[in-house]
C-alpha cells in the first residue's frame, strides 16, 4: 500500500483540517426571541454574532429572529437599527447580499416585560409567524437584559405558557452575572425553575466560547507529553490575567454596584481556573466536563478572614494616560458617585486543596484602565533542580512557561532556553508559538460559539447551577471581608495596577508576568 504523502506546508495542513473538522450546522428550524433587542448588548454582541453565523452558513434555512423590547420600534425600524449596528451601509458584494437576506429574517414585537397581556400578545405573534413560515415551535429566549429583570421576564414567560411548546421545551439564555451573591443566585434559580428545568437553562459565559479557552482541554488531554507534568511536582504556580485598558464606559450604573470581583471573578476568572485545574473527565461530554469543574470549586481553600491581606488586594483607578490619551479616574466617570469605594482591580491567591494541586498557588488578577488589554493563562514550571550553569553565567536560566493567550492574538506559547549559536556558553530564552492567525479562516468569536452550541443543544460551554452556586460560595466571604477594609488602593490609569498586587507575589519571590510581554 502506498504511503499517504505528508503535507508540505501550513496551508496544506489547514486545508486538511478544514476537510476533517467540519463545523456543526444548526439543522432544526427555530425562532430566537431576543429580549432587550433595542439595547447595547444586542447591538454590539448578539446581533453581529447571529449575522456572522448566517454568513458562515451555519444557521438553518428556516429561522426567525424576533426582537423584543419596550422601545416602540416597528419591524422596519428594527431592521434599520440592526443594519446600523452591523455597518450594513459599508458592505458590498456577497456580504451586502447576505445582509439583505438576513434582514428578511428579522421581526420585532414591543412588549411590557411584566405584563401578562403583553406576553400573551407576543405568543400570538410568534405563533402567527411560525405558521406563516411553516416552522416548528422550537423557541430560544435570549435575555440580553439587565439582571434585575430576569425574574420578572421569566415569570411572565412561564405564566403565559411559553416555557413549553408543541415541539418540546423552550430554551432560555441568561447573560452573566447570575445573581450578585449566593443568596440571590439561589433565589433566581428557584424562580426560574418554577417554569424552566435545568436542561432548558443556558447561562452564557462568552469567554468559554473563545478558541484558546476551548483548546485548554484539547491541549491537556489530547497530548500525552504534558499530562504527566500537570501537577504540583512540576508546576510552581499559575497566573490568570484579564486586564482591560478601557474604563467602565456605558456600564457605570451596573459596575458601581458589582465591582470587579462580581463582574469578572465569579464567572470568567474562576471558569478559566477550573479548566486549568480540573481532572480528566471520563468522557468528553457536557455533564462529565461540568462535573469535574465543580469538583475544582469544591476543593477551593476557603478564605481565612485573618489572612485577607495575604491573599487579596483591590484597587481603583485614578486619572492617568492610556495609549497616549489622558483618561479620567473612576470617580470622575459619568454616573459614578464621587465617594465610591467600588474596586476596579483585584488580585487574589487561590489554592485547590486536592492531590494534584496541593500547595500550588493560582494567582488571579483583573482590572480596568491598565497598561494593555490582555487575557492569558501562564503556567510557570519549577526551575531546573540543579543549576549547573550558574558558576559560568552572569544570570541563571529562569523557569519555563506555557502561555495560553486568549486575547489579543489567540494562541499558545512555550518558553524555553537554548544555546546561542557560536558562543561557548550563553543561553537565550526562545518561544515556540501556535497562533490562530496562521490558520485558514477566522475562528468563531465567543458569542458565535456559544450561540451555535445553544442552538444545537450542546451544554458543555454553559455553566451549570451547582457551578454558579459553588463560585459564589468561594467569593461571597471575600467580597464581605474586602468591603469591611475601607478604601481600595489607588493606581494610575495606564499602569499595571496597584503596588500591593506586586507585593502579593513578591512575598514568595515571584512576580507577575508583565502586561507588555508578548
122-136 tens-digit pLDDT: 999 999 999 999 888
Could you tell me which residues come within 8 angstroms of residue 452 by beta carbon, excluding any fewer than 6 positions away?
A: 23, 24, 26, 53, 58, 444
Say what the pLDDT of residue 125 is: 96
Say what the pLDDT of residue 391 is: 58
Indicate the burial class of 496 (C-beta count within 10 angstroms; 0-12, 13-18, 19 or more): buried
Say what the pLDDT of residue 9 is: 38
What kind and span of H or E run contains 127? helix 116-132
Complete DSSP assignment for 265-278? IIIIIHHHHHHHHP
3-class secondary-structure state, position 67: strand
| Residue 275 C-alpha from the chain's centroid | 12
**Do residues 264 and 270 make contact, with C-beta atoms less than 8 angstroms apart?**
no
Could you tell me which residues come within 8 angstroms of residue 448 by beta carbon, excluding any fewer than 6 positions away?
A: 49, 52, 53, 209
Cell of 416: 524555553
Say what the pLDDT of residue 245 is: 96
Residue of 105, 116, 268, 386 marked active site: 268
Domains and CATH numbers, the chain: 10-175 (3.40.50.720), 208-382+432-443+465-506 (3.30.360.10)
Say what the pLDDT of residue 8 is: 38
First to last CA, the chain: 46
**What is the rounded distance in angstroms from the CA atom of residue 400 to the CA atom of residue 416?**
5
Say what the pLDDT of residue 49 is: 94
Adjacent-strand bridge partners of 238 = 362, 379
**What is the rounded distance in angstroms from the CA atom of residue 181 to the CA atom of residue 120?**
33
What kind and span of H or E run contains 299? none
Could you tell me which residues come within 8 angstroms of residue 373 by beta carbon, excluding any fewer than 6 positions away?
A: 243, 244, 245, 246, 407, 408
Cell of 366: 483583573
Residue 257 annotated in active site: no
Indicate the burial class of 122 (C-beta count within 10 angstroms; 0-12, 13-18, 19 or more): buried
**What is the rounded distance in angstroms from the CA atom of residue 280 to the CA atom of residue 356?**
12
**What is the rounded distance in angstroms from the CA atom of residue 158 to the CA atom of residue 156?**
5
Could you tell me which residues come within 8 angstroms of residue 71 by beta carbon, excluding any fewer than 6 positions away?
A: 38, 110
| Residue 142 C-alpha from the chain's centroid | 17
Estimate the crossing angle of helix 270-277 against helix 465-483, to 10 degrees: 120
**Do residues 369 and 335 make contact, with C-beta atoms less than 8 angstroms apart?**
no
Residue 161 has phi, psi (to 5 degrees) of 75, 25
**Do residues 241 and 181 make contact, with C-beta atoms less than 8 angstroms apart?**
no
**Do residues 81 and 118 make contact, with C-beta atoms less than 8 angstroms apart?**
no
Low-confidence ranges of the chain (pLDDT < 50): 1-20
Say what the pLDDT of residue 35 is: 97
Could you tell me which residues come within 8 angstroms of residue 474 by beta carbon, excluding any fewer than 6 positions away?
A: 270, 297, 300, 302, 350
SS (H, E, C) 397-419: CCCCEEEEEEECCCEEEEEEEEE
Amino acid at each position: 500500500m502506498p504511503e499517504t504523502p505528508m503535507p508540505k506546508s501550513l496551508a496544506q495542513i489547514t486545508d486538511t483540517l478544514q476537510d476533517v473538522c467540519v463545523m456543526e450546522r444548526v439543522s432544526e428550524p427555530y425562532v430566537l426571541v431576543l429580549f432587550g433587542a433595542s439595547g447595547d448588548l444586542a447591538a454590539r454582541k448578539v446581533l453581529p454574532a447571529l449575522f456572522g453565523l448566517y454568513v458562515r452558513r451555519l444557521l438553518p434555512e428556516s429561522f426567525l429572529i424576533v426582537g423584543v423590547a419596550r422601545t416602540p420600534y416597528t419591524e422596519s425600524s428594527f431592521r434599520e437599527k440592526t443594519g446600523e449596528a452591523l455597518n450594513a451601509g459599508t458592505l458590498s458584494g456577497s456580504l451586502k447580499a447576505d445582509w439583505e437576506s438576513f434582514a428578511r429574517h428579522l421581526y420585532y414585537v414591543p412588549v411590557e416585560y411584566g405584563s401578562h397581556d403583553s406576553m400573551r400578545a407576543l405568543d400570538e405573534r410568534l405563533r402567527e409567524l411560525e405558521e406563516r413560515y411553516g416552522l416548528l415551535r422550537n423557541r430560544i429566549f435570549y435575555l440580553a437584559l439587565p439582571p434585575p429583570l430576569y425574574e420578572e421576564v421569566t415569570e411572565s414567560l412561564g405564566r403565559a405558557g411559553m416555557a413549553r411548546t408543541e415541539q418540546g421545551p423552550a430554551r432560555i439564555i441568561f447573560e452573566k452575572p447570575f445573581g450578585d451573591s449566593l443568596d440571590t443566585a439561589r433565589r433566581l434559580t428557584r424562580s426560574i425553575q418554577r417554569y424552566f428545568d435545568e436542561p432548558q437553562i443556558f447561562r452564557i459565559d462568552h469567554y468559554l466560547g473563545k478558541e484558546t479557552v476551548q483548546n485548554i482541554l484539547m491541549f491537556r488531554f489530547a497530548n500525552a507529553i504534558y499530562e504527566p507534568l500537570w501537577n504540583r511536582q512540576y508546576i510552581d504556580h499559575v497566573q490568570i490575567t484579564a486586564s482591560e485598558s478601557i474604563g467602565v464606559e456605558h456600564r457605570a450604573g451596573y459596575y458601581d454596584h458589582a465591582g470587579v470581583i462580581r463582574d469578572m471573578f465569579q464567572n470568567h476568572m474562576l471558569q478559566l481556573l477550573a479548566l486549568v485545574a480540573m481532572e480528566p473527565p471520563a468522557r468528553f461530554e457536557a455533564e462529565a466536563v461540568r462535573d469535574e469543574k465543580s469538583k475544582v470549586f469544591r476543593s477551593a481553600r476557603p478564605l481565612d478572614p485573618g489572612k485577607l491581606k495575604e491573599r487579596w488586594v483591590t484597587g481603583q483607578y485614578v486619572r492617568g494616560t492610556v495609549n497616549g490619551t489622558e483618561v479620567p479616574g473612576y470617580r470622575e466617570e459619568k454616573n459614578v458617585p464621587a465617594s465610591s469605594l467600588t474596586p476596579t482591580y483585584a488580585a487574589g491567591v487561590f489554592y485547590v486543596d486536592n492531590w494534584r494541586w496541593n500547595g500550588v498557588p493560582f494567582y488571579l488578577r483583573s482590572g480596568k484602565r491598565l497598561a494593555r488589554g490582555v487575557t492569558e493563562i501562564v503556567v510557570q514550571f519549577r526551575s531546573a533542580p540543579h543549576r549547573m550553569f550558574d558558576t559560568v553565567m552572569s544570570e541563571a536560566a529562569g523557569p519555563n512557561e506555557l502561555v495560553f493567550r486568549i486575547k489579543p492574538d489567540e494562541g499558545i506559547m512555550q518558553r524555553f532556553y537554548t544555546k546561542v549559536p557560536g558562543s561557548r556558553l550563553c543561553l537565550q530564552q526562545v518561544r515556540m508559538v501556535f497562533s490562530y492567525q496562521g490558520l485558514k479562516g477566522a475562528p468563531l468569536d465567543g458569542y458565535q460559539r456559544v450561540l451555535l452550541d445553544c442552538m444545537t443543544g450542546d451544554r458543555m460551554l454553559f455553566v451549570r447551577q451547582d457551578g454558579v452556586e459553588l463560585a459564589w460560595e468561594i467569593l461571597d466571604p471575600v467580597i464581605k471581608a474586602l468591603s469591611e477594609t475601607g478604601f481600595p488602593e489607588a493606581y494610575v490609569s495606564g499602569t499595571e495596577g496597584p503596588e500591593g498586587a506586586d507585593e502579593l507575589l513578591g512575598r514568595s519571590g515571584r512576580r507577575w508576568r508583565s502586561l507588555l510581554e508578548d
